Amino acid sequence: MSRNDAAPGTVTEPPGRIRRALSLLYVQCLIGVLAGAAVGWLWPTLGADLKPLGDGFIALVRMMIAPVIFCTVVHGIASMGNARAVGRVSLKALIYFEVLTTVAMVIGLVVVNIVKPGSGLHVDPSTLSTEGLPPEATQSHESVSAFVLSIIPDTLPSALTGHEILPVLLISVLFGFGLNAAGEAGAGITQGVEKLSKVLFTLIRWVMRLAPIGAFGSMAFTIGSYGLDTLRQLSLLVGSFWLTALFFVLVVLGTVMRVNGLRLLPFLRYIKEELLIVLGTSSSEPVLPRMMAKLQHAGASKPVVGITLPAGYSFNLDGTAIYLTMGSVFLAQALGIDLSLTQQLTMLAVMLLTSKGAAGVTGSGFIALAATLSAVPHVPVAALALIFGIDRFMSEARALTSVVGNGVATLAVAKWEGQLDEDRAKAVLRGEIPYACAPEADHTAEPQADPVPGEQPAETGPKAAAGTDRAPVPAAG
């Protein structure tokens, strides 16, 4: 007899509160983060040696990202059936990305000029060296034309085996349009792609069970390798950067949510598990599949989520945008270089290009800053040595801000396209329609959403079939 089949006349005692809490992924991740910080602080050498735990977890998730994006985008475009609608969604998303990225950079520029975190350091430029910096920070960086050409993969399969998101998006869009144009011949492939995506999300759910271990290893490495002494020395920069990122999230992104009839704080509660995973791993990549599933569960249509969210990982890095302006001006202040307003605005224009294509992996913001300093020779690249030791402590804030920003962007674009079920979104954010894993026994069944209190059951038949595709993908965690 299984543990669920209690004997007649007996009462099964529900699990205790502590046991229920420990079964939640975000609680497990929080424990992993705190334990990793303690190990890195008490035993720095051991903490530094635990880096493979975090790297291994991120590698496991990263190997799934390209196939997940491909299946989601292809099925979304094929089910949308309208090339003009896809172009409209893409254009609105790109305009939104550029506007919000510019706002983030301007906010960072204003804060760093008011706080002046580097003005008291008085560093002699002749004492700086590029020795010890990552090779990517000192090598020559590609031009705009080279960046555009790099989006085109060598072969169709090679896009799925690389580490860049933009080539995957390109072949996914082309393949989706190809299925549309193929008519009946493409219908069977579209169904196969949808079934494959369900298998992939099942694998993602299994991998995400290792998230607490990955968060533990990454945090132990960060504290063990860089220590808290380095953080204390440049605490004004780190503190002002975190507060600026928090201001951007609460005020700017909060305003975007309000304008679209939603509230930010319930949304942050809804994605708290993803935020803790990002905090522990310093990377936004591991939560991309989960964010896609959760945004669809919240009422955004699959095509809009499939196009907007992956594109945001290359074009809407709000946290990196704040970091670029604050980091570059901080280094100039530390070296005693007085940047004029024109020079700062020139750097901002360059950053709008160098920030693109920097996927949400640990250290990508640092490399983007190096590319900016190389393109605008107001500050020597060797000055990056001043913040290399604390970059990891700012990486978490960059990734957290970008994850929230991309989630808000997806909901906003869905609302503007009429592809957001507002009543469902509000009910989900209030916790009335909880996000839960699909049953292990039946991975092929599409999860059914609980009805919103006070609403009639969803219609079935041809009328319902004609509606927008908002069914959530299989839950990733």
The predicted-structure confidence for 371-426, as pLDDT tens digits, reads as follows 777 766 677 777 777 777 677 778 888 889 989 999 999 999 999 988 899 999 99
Rounded to 5°, the CA angle 259-260-263 comes to 85
Looking at residue 14, what is its pLDDT?
55
Cβ partners under 8 Å of residue 409, min gap 6? 93, 96, 97, 100, 308, 309, 312, 316
Among the listed residues 279, 254, 271, 220, the one whose alpha carbon sits nearest the alpha carbon of residue 29: 279
Higher pLDDT, 17 or 200: 200
Cα separation, 193 vs 442, in Å, equals 18
User: Facing residues of 300 across strands?
Assistant: 420
Is residue 398 a contact partner of residue 280, using CB atoms and an 8 Å limit? no
Tokens at 385, concatenated = 């040595």
Cα separation, 313 vs 320, in Å, equals 11
Cα separation, 472 vs 418, in Å, equals 17
Check pLDDT > 80 for residue 206.
yes
Tokens at 6, concatenated = 């209690």
- What's the Cα-to-Cα distance from 324 to each of 213, 347, 372, rounded to whole Å? 31, 9, 8
The mean pLDDT value for 428-455 works out to 55
Cα separation, 363 vs 93, in Å, equals 25
User: Facing residues of 420 across strands?
Assistant: 300
Name the range with the highest mean pLDDT among 153-157, 238-242, 404-408, 444-448: 404-408
Cα separation, 70 vs 200, in Å, equals 11
Helix 272-281 to helix 211-233 angle, to the nearest 10 degrees? Answer: 60
Tokens at 449, concatenated = 């959403």
- DSSP per residue over 279-313, as a string? HHHT-SGGGHHHHHHHHHHTTB-HHHHHHHHHHHH
Q: What is the CB neighbour count within 10 angstroms for residue 248?
A: 24
Place of tokens 């998006």: 169
Is residue 403 a contact partner of residue 241, using CB atoms and an 8 Å limit? no
pLDDT confidence band for 258 (50 / 70 / 90): very high
Looking at residue 449, what is its pLDDT?
40
Element (H, E) at 236: helix 235-247
pLDDT confidence band for 472 (50 / 70 / 90): very low
The mean pLDDT value for 64-91 works out to 77
Cα separation, 243 vs 397, in Å, equals 9
- What's the Cα-to-Cα distance from 50 to each of 214, 388, 443, rounded to whole Å? 9, 20, 34
pLDDT confidence band for 474 (50 / 70 / 90): very low
Looking at residue 470, what is its pLDDT?
47
pLDDT confidence band for 459 (50 / 70 / 90): very low
pLDDT confidence band for 124 (50 / 70 / 90): low
pLDDT confidence band for 1 (50 / 70 / 90): very low
Average model confidence (pLDDT) across the chain: 76
Is residue 136 a contact partner of residue 278, using CB atoms and an 8 Å limit? no
* Torsion of Cα atoms, 372 then 378 then 379 then 381, to 10°: 50
The mean pLDDT value for 61-67 works out to 79
Check pLDDT > 70 for residue 471.
no
pLDDT confidence band for 446 (50 / 70 / 90): very low
The proportion of the chain whose per-residue pLDDT surpasses 70, expressed as a percent, equals 74
pLDDT confidence band for 271 (50 / 70 / 90): very high
- What size, in residues, is the chain? 477
Check pLDDT > 60 for residue 128.
no
Is residue 425 a contact partner of residue 299, using CB atoms and an 8 Å limit? yes
Check pLDDT > 90 for residue 152.
no
DSSP 388: G
Cα separation, 246 vs 281, in Å, equals 19
Cα separation, 69 vs 165, in Å, equals 8
For the ranges 268-272, 357-361, 411-415, the lowest mean pLDDT is seen at 357-361
Looking at residue 182, what is its pLDDT?
76
The proportion of the chain whose per-residue pLDDT surpasses 90, expressed as a percent, equals 14
Cα separation, 219 vs 392, in Å, equals 10
The mean pLDDT value for 205-213 works out to 82
The mean pLDDT value for 128-155 works out to 61
Higher pLDDT, 87 or 96: 96
Place of tokens 């560093």: 123
pLDDT confidence band for 229 (50 / 70 / 90): low
Higher pLDDT, 7 or 440: 7
Cα separation, 105 vs 354, in Å, equals 12
Check pLDDT > 50 for residue 43.
yes
Exposure string (b/e) for 324-339, b if CB count within 10 Å is 16 or more? bbbbbbbbbbbbebeb
For the ranges 120-129, 130-139, 326-335, the lowest mean pLDDT is seen at 130-139
pLDDT, tens only, 285-319: 788 888 988 999 999 988 888 888 888 887 778 88
Is residue 357 a contact partner of residue 166, using CB atoms and an 8 Å limit? yes
Q: Is 122 left (phi over 0), alpha (psi -120 to 50) or beta?
A: left
Residue type, 456: Q
Secondary structure class of 460 (helix, strand, coil)? coil
